Structure 1
Amino acid sequence: MTALVPPASSAASARLITAADILDRCDELGRHSSLPNGLIKRVYLSPEHAAVNAIAGEWMLAAGLATWQDAAGNQCGRLDGARPGLPALLLGSHLDTVPAAGRYDGSLGVLLAIAVAERVARSGRALPFALEVVAFGDEEGIRFGTTLLGSRALAGTWQNIWWGLEDQNGVSLDAAYRAFGLDPAVIGDAARTPADLIGYLEAHIEQGPVLDDAGIALGVVSSIAGARRFSIVIEGAAAHSGTQWALRRDALAGASEVILAIERIAREANLSGTVGHLAVFPDAVNVIAGRVEFSLDLRGESDAQRDRAWALIEQTAEQICDRRALTVTSVQTHGAPAAHCSPHLRVAVATGIRLAVADDSAPPSLLSMAGHDAMAIAALTDIGMLFVRCRDGVSHHPDESVTEADVALALDAFEAAVLHLADQYDADELDSEFDARAATT
């Protein structure tokens, strides 16, 4: 963990961050990538991760926040409230990406959080809580195959079994931490306690077409779908492509039937079921596949419904493989329960949207089928989320697109949500909590 850097003078910035600045900053972050030709890929504990952390830290300092990098490689900043040491409202998102990513998934939320903190700092208003901004390092889970490592460390739900995870080059998570300049032995230092925070707010592109189809800029997230991920292996027997049909034990044919069954079961249960990775062995044009490995990402608003669907998928896969003289095994690689946004934070976000768009009608409430750092933080404190319209609902792709006008509304709405919470926060309760905390130090 790097030392705390004190905030810059309020005179360091001549004007407030605008929506145009935020879009320019998204472009600047997008230039830090391990892929050529303008494509974006930025994974956890990489040189690119270090570069964007440093840049985000500079922007946090300029916004008036004290900054540090925590024990999990998350970049953090803090603006004290009416008194030092008060619990904080945490604002944030992530800076890592998928391969061939867009510029706004994650990064937009971090930059909106910094801009809101700057507005509060420059206003001179003393909030009844601190504001903290966090740029998480590993929401996507691309490098080590499990997601939300940064936010899970902050939430205090880190599992030591993860230290043995390896990337595609055989580098362990433990080794990657050390190479990044972090000490695995003090990962617990990244963890916050419930007493440290009053809640968490995250702004994010929608990653779906609901807002765009409705012609609406902003929405309130109701909950985040629970997700389970599996690595599935089907094995048969590799053989010459001239082998008679009755003698074939074709793992690829069996896997194809299982994948179609997954699609059918997920559709019937109104779940999201995605096979995004498939590898065939020995992978030769004239050889029957003897082994197939594929992934499954299964998501749903109801954990119970999702788990029933997985049980049916398992049963169906076994039946298919028995009929084809194949074997099937599966290992769960990730699991996260559905996370429901807290009612009072949903009200705050909705209030912020109404003020920003000057419309008293209720903004749309949306289920997020995509995962977010908020899922991990829900184990620690209340969560709320603001969705920003993304053209055609495209995300995880270079064609991600948001408008300057929508970003300006999102910035106003996010700030208004924070100020609404400040207005609603019980000052007497805050005084009692502060006195109790002070008495124990």
Structure 2
Amino acid sequence: MALTYEQAGALAWQWLEQIARVSETDDPERNGVTRLCATREHRQALDMLGGWMRDAGMALRSDNGANLIGRYASANPAAPTLLLGSHQDTVPHGGKYDGIMGVLLPLALVRYLDHHAIALPFHLDVVAFSDEEGTRFSSTLLGSKVLAGTFEPAMLDAQDDQGVTLRQALIDFGCDPERIADDRYAPGEVLGFVEVHIEQGPQLEAEGLPIGVVSAITGIERHKLSIHGLAGHAGTVPMHLRQDALVGAARVIGLVDELCKATDELVGVVGKIDNSPNGVNVIPQRTDLTIELRSPDDATRLAARETLLTRIDAALAELDLRLEQRLIYEQAAVQCAPALVSRLEAAVAASGVTPRTLFSGAGHDGLAMQALCDIGMLFLRCERGISHHPDEAIDPNDLGVAVEVLARFVTALAEAERW
């Protein structure tokens, strides 16, 4: 009996349930999944994934960045390669689907292709990236930077909470950090990179759509602000004479919220506040806070920055407060390749789903992989948009839809190109 898309999706669901138990936590339903880079759980996950890859007839290789790659090979050894995959690591007490679903869905696709003896004129490599989250070493996008050829050796000196360096952890994992540069793909050999990921937002669920196509991965910038006022007794200093730093911070919070709500494709947050001297009856003298802005369009984000900082300067001047501000992080937006977006939209439509294009407000391995090749991305709806949490949930039936979309995408790509 021929394997159906639905059955392949059910197989992916079965795998997801099994690998969720590979975790530092003892109960993934209640306590989530914790699987960090170059740990015992990482090794167990790769062993489990490797077994499923072998069952699908794939050739396996591990690299010196602790990535696992399974190849569904073309009959032509010199054929180019299409990369599919995502990360297997998690945040502490994370969900069962963030990242790992994007490894197991391509693996279910390979099982479907192999079952139907569908040959491709290109190699199809399924990648389980080693460390996208950066939880253990703050080494975000480790695995994808290795494959893209943008890994910086200085990252090897990063330490975890126990003082173990990334270099030593990789050595203990069986890798040779000094040979990481040898593990990159040659740019000319790669057709593109496509990732499937849970949306981590509520839009697809609200619109009743199982799957959507990503247009871009957001650009991000973060600022640290220190607002300086003057401490005083809260009962004796008249209100009109106060220099209250926390009142200034409240103005900043309002300005961020107001600007982001009024600007399309812009989101922002004041995520962290420290107040001093933080006494119940003391006027705050200093308030430190962070501002984060995100947009898939860098011009929008940069214009918003200029507008926001101008408004903040004016508001704090009115309150007789002094401001120190510095940019502490900036990541440019990455656009998904139009050709891949259109092919993925066509595959979604051919699967009987109304195409919906949306941008990713979170970072993904594509941020690194775009230095190597064109990137594309699919989102699967998730319940209430929850992610990085034990309550992360998906509809199992959506996995079959995703397998169908991927199958239509790769077979159309094979038929459309001249090889």
Q: TM class by shorter-chain length?
A: 0.7 to 0.9
Deviation at 1:386, TM superposition (A): 2.0
Instruction: Report the CA distance between 1:21 and its aligned residue.
Output: 2.6
Where does residue 23 of structure 1 map in the other structure?
13
1:423 Cα deviation from its structure 2 partner: 0.9
1:368 is matched with which residue? 360
Task: Report whether the alignment pairs 1:389 with 2:384.
Answer: no
The answer on whether the counterparts of 2:31 and 2:390 sit within 8 Å (CA) in structure 1 is: no
Correspondence 1:74-93 to 2 at 5 A: 74-93=67-86
Alignment of 1:297-308 (within 5 A): 297-308=292-303
Asked if 1:422 is matched to 2:418, the reply is: no
Query: Shift of the alpha carbon at 1:198?
Result: 0.8
Offset of residue 89 of structure 1 = 0.5
Residue identity opposite 2:204 in structure 1: L
Q: In the aligned structure 2, how far is the partner of 1:238 from the partner of 1:177?
A: 50
1:299 Cα deviation from its structure 2 partner: 1.2
The answer as to whether partners of 2:157 and 2:167 remain within 8 angstroms in 1 is yes
In 1: Cα distance, 2:232 partner to 2:384 partner? 46
| Alignment check: 8 A CA contact 1:89 1:132 kept | yes
Map 1:74-223 onto structure 2 (within 5 A).
74-145=67-138, 147-167=140-160, 171-223=164-216
Q: Distance in 2 between matches of 1:281 and 1:45?
A: 40
Which of the residues 60, 63, 69 maps onto 1:70?
63
TM-score normalised by L of structure 2 = 0.84
Return the letter of the residue paired with 2:253. I
Query: CA, structure 1 residues 165+400, in 2 after alignment: closer, same or farther (shift >3 Å)?
Result: same
Whether 2:262 is the aligned partner of 1:268: answer yes
SS at match of 1:381: coil
Aligned residue in 2 for 1:355: 350
Match of residue 48, structure 1, among 38, 41, 54: 41
In structure 2, how many angstroms separate the alpha carbons of the residues matched to 1:250 and 1:389?
44
Whole-angstrom CA distance in 2 between matches of 1:142 and 1:241:
43
> What is the CA–CA distance in structure 1 between the aligned matches of 2:41 and 2:276, rounded to whole Å?
33
Q: How far off its partner does 1:278 sit?
A: 4.5
Where 2:400 maps in the other structure, the secondary structure is helix
Q: Which amino acid aligns with 1:338?
A: A
Tell me the distance in 2 between the aligned counterparts of 1:59 and 1:149: 24
Deviation at 1:166, TM superposition (A): 4.4
One-letter amino acid of the counterpart of residue 32, structure 1: V
Is there any run of 5+ residues in structure 2 with no aligned partner, and where? none
Aligned residues: 409
Tell me which of 249, 253, 256 is aligned to 1:259. Answer: 253
Q: Is the 8 A contact 1:91 1:202 kept in 2?
A: yes
Deviation digits for residues 67-104 of structure 1 (CA, Å, limit 9, x no counterpart): 12222222211121021242211001112223332211
Counterparts of 1:211 and 1:298 in 2: how far apart (Å)? 23
Q: CA deviation at 1:291?
A: 6.4
Contact 2:218–2:297, Cα closer than 8 Å, also in 1: yes
State the alpha-carbon separation in 2 of the partners of residues 288 and 376 from structure 1.
Answer: 46
Q: CA RMSD of the aligned region, Å?
A: 3.4
Distance 1:204 1:231, change over 3 A: same
8 Å Cα contact 1:31/1:38 also seen in 2: no
CA-CA distance at 1:161 after TM superposition: 4.3
Is 1:330 aligned to residue 320 of structure 2? no
- The structure with higher relative contact order (CA 8 Å, sep 6+) is 2
Q: Distance in 2 between matches of 1:238 and 1:68?
A: 62
Maintained 8 Å contact 1:231/1:293? no
Partner of 2:351: helix, strand, or coil?
helix
Which amino acid is the alignment partner of residue 378 of structure 1? Q
Partner Cα distance (2:95, 2:150) in 1:
29
SS at match of 1:307: helix
Q: Please point out which of 384, 393, 400 is paired with 1:401.
A: 393
Cα distance in 2 for partners of 1:51, 1:244 equals 64
TM-score of the aligned structures, taking structure 1 as reference length: 0.80
Over residues 208-227 of structure 1, what are the superposed CA-to-partner deviations in whole Å (9 max), with x where a residue is unaligned? 22222222222222222222
Unaligned runs of 5+ in 1: 1-12, 428-441
Change (3 A) 1:143 1:305: farther
SS where residue 18 of structure 1 aligns? helix
Shift in Å, 1:289: 6.6
Q: 1:290 to 1:123 in 2, by over 3 A?
A: farther
Q: CA deviation at 1:19?
A: 2.1
**What's the offset of the Cα at 1:114?**
0.9
